[in-house]
Structure 1
């Protein structure tokens, strides 16, 4: 995000044009680098490589390195047009590194390519960017988002949980008679291998995509939004329709942010003329939101979020050997307690969990704390620690002859870094 006082902000006012045609341009961005220390329980001879402790030098994906250029121009009284292009620079992203890939080649990520018209009747945006429900589940007054962001998998998401030695499987014969217990072997362990990204997710309404979006003028304290568009080639969505509501209002003792979102994303088939799955509803439904309260006189704040993700199982998912007990409803829940005595200091403790991300009767959770020091508007130094845990109940293959009881080691991550905005 560019600073309002950015030295690269340029105002261009034509000497020969009418004042109504004055244009304003801004170039800005940020660099956000961090060091992650990880204790993940890995060992070189069991579902992983390297030692059980690792250091990673990363780009913090909570708020990644990026550059942007934008411009606005007054069209007529009350009407403004403009455009924004923002590109992320992905060098060793914190959600991708793992013991096998400590260094990942840099790449560019199209974040936003938008054109818009803003008027007294609302704002219309066309291009690649945020849908109407995007971030409605991520509203937060804590000031610690750079280290304690709502999506816990953005720091350490590529790390996998190690299976404990206490993991076991129960075996049955063709008649359903119990024949004994056995330890996992490597191949069967892979069927139970799960990463942080695979265990916990905040379901942020399909992310950025190509769409047309409408945001209403403020109706009292509320702004309503709607968008429709298409998924990118890298995802599985044919169409995406979203609705959102955001509100910032004064309440007794302080102020509050409220967001609600709803989306329907239609999954596509393997070819353009092929239906997704004749036996399954192609629509994925996501709904939920967040609320954040800030107490003005003390700086204490609290944030709550809840988002659900519903997707009917495909034919293959119903009938596959290892598809028994797959989930059709994922649920994310989150609470953060913060303390922000001034604009220079912010603290938080937080807990989040996703239930039934992949299978029924499983839970990925995180408990953590973070601190951000912001000596100036352009500079942040931060540190945080968190523990990720994963639990999966017993599940059986479709034949019923093997039932798995995996147990997982926790993953501990300590991160410190700095963000410089320009």
Structure 2
């Protein structure tokens, strides 16, 4: 909701200014709550009553904050400087209780969390927009261009709903042992510990949804300075530079190009981005993480007469690993190139109803020869701008190929059960 300066004057005497430079303040936000029904093969207590997280009842209900578009509060202000020039600021705080990204059978209720999403100051002019603070880099969301209208339930990052859930290992998972000379010694099924998600023997092959599939969104939000050009033909060019990571030791450079244009039969959104995160290993708080290059984009087409829309996205994340990092223990097949691919077919006959079916996969998220995938459907009902009711269902699958530890003495052939998630919820904006 927006308030003109004249309405705020009585309570905000410090903001007195001439009408020609009137201040506009915008206060808003949303609450987005959902219920998840999950079939994943795990429960908070094992079927034998031991109380250890393991294979018990394979269904659970969770009451969550939907991280596809989480609960948040936004405060913004803009003021005209002079003809064609505007200055402003935005503060956005996320408030998550039982995040859909974090819940699991072991933690059906997680701690509430306040998250600094955006703290920006900006100047907008005929020559472009300059932004300083914490927020989105220049490539952010260039691979999430989407006309479907179902992002609240069928978002591009599949792990945001159910990301903390573990894939159950099948009883058919086996490990093979070899002698020091490389000759075969033994093959056996995983032990009970290796089939569980507890720390210990099973940790080498345990995997969550978030650990198996990711859309690699160009380093996320971080501290940066960003410039967005005026439209150059049909496109806007953006560049940014900043720091990321808990210690701020990662230097992040990004470039992005976005466009919205009319094409035969309808409209099209296009985005492309590149990001390079460089680790300062010489700093006292420096990290041992690899330097990372991320590149990719998306395209979404909307057919005006029918409301049918089609979206594609592709993003690659290339880690620059040293030979030791690439061949270390448990990392003898560690992936150096993760690949995300996504396709969505949508139907949006009007602004009230939106449907979609989608498929996404991440190849080599952690190790070579593995694939995390999702197939799902979603529906959103939006009778007014401030209200959405939605429902969706999806199936997550994970495959990891035969892999061996550095010594070559033990090799694993894990097989995983699928995870099914049905979600329904309400989003109310204010």
TM-score norm. by structure 1 comes to 0.94
Query: Distance in 1 between the 2:97 and 2:29 partners?
Result: 15
Give the distance between the partners of 1:130 and 1:62, measured in 2 at CA.
16
Distance 1:226 1:25 in 2: 28
Query: Match for residue 48 of structure 1?
Result: 54
Shift of 1:344: 0.2
| Equivalent runs, 1:243-282 vs 2, <5 Å | 243-269=255-281, 272-273=283-284, 282=290
Residue by residue, what CA displacement relative to the aligned partner does 1:268-327 show, whole Å, maximum 9, x if unpaired?
43x7247756xx9x4210000000000000000000000000012246533532111110
Q: CA deviation digits over 1:81-115, x for unaligned, max 9?
A: 00000000011000000001000121200000000
Residue 16 to residue 106, structure 1, CA distance change in 2 (3 Å): closer
| Residue from 228, 231, 245 that aligns with 1:218 | 231
Which residues of structure 2 form unaligned runs of 5+? 10-14, 194-199
Superposed, 1:1-400 pairs within 5 Å as 6=1, 9-13=2-6, 17-42=17-42, 44=46, 48=54, 51-185=57-191, 186=193, 187-233=200-246, 237-269=249-281, 272-273=283-284, 282-314=290-322, 317-400=325-408
Q: Secondary structure at the match of 1:209?
A: strand
Distance 2:104 2:140 in 1: 28
Distance 1:341 1:143 in 2: 11
CA distance in 2, matches of 1:347, 1:62: 16
Are 2:68 and 2:151, in contact at CA under 8 Å, matched by a contact in 1? yes
Q: Which runs of 4+ in 1 moved over 6 A?
A: none
Instruction: Identify which range, 39-48 or 323-332, moves more after superposition.
Output: 39-48
Structure 2 equivalent of residue 3 of structure 1: none
- Root mean square deviation, CA, Å: 1.8
Deviation at 1:152, TM superposition (A): 0.1
Shift in CA distance, 115/275, structure 1 to aligned 2, threshold 3 Å? closer
SS at structure 2 position matched to 1:148? coil
Q: Distance in 2 between matches of 1:183 and 1:16?
A: 75
SS at match of 1:341: coil
Deviation (angstroms), 1:47 = 6.0
Cα deviation, 1:105-128, whole Å, max 9, x if unaligned, reads 212000000000000000000000
How big is the shift at 1:55? 0.3
- Output the CA distance in 2 between the equivalents of 1:49 and 1:77: 66
Where 1:176 maps in the other structure, the secondary structure is coil
3-state SS, counterpart of residue 245 of structure 1: strand
Residue number in structure 1 paired with 2:196? none
User: What secondary structure does 2:101 align onto?
Assistant: coil
State the Cα deviation string for residues 58-94 of structure 1 (Å, max 9, x = none): 0000000000110000000000000000000011000
The whole-number CA distance in structure 1 between the counterparts of 2:143 and 2:26 is: 29
- Asked whether the 8 Å contact 1:41–1:161 carries over to 2, the reply is yes
- Paired residues, number: 410
Deviation readout 1:335-364 (Å, 9 max, x if unpaired): 000000010000000000000000000000
**TM-score (ref. length: structure 2):** 0.92
Quickly say closer, same or farther: Cα 1:63–1:274, change in 2 above 3 A. closer
Cα distance per residue 1:191-210 (max 9 Å; x no partner): 00000000000000010000
Q: For the residues of structure 2 that align with 1:90 and 1:111, how far apart are their CA atoms?
A: 12
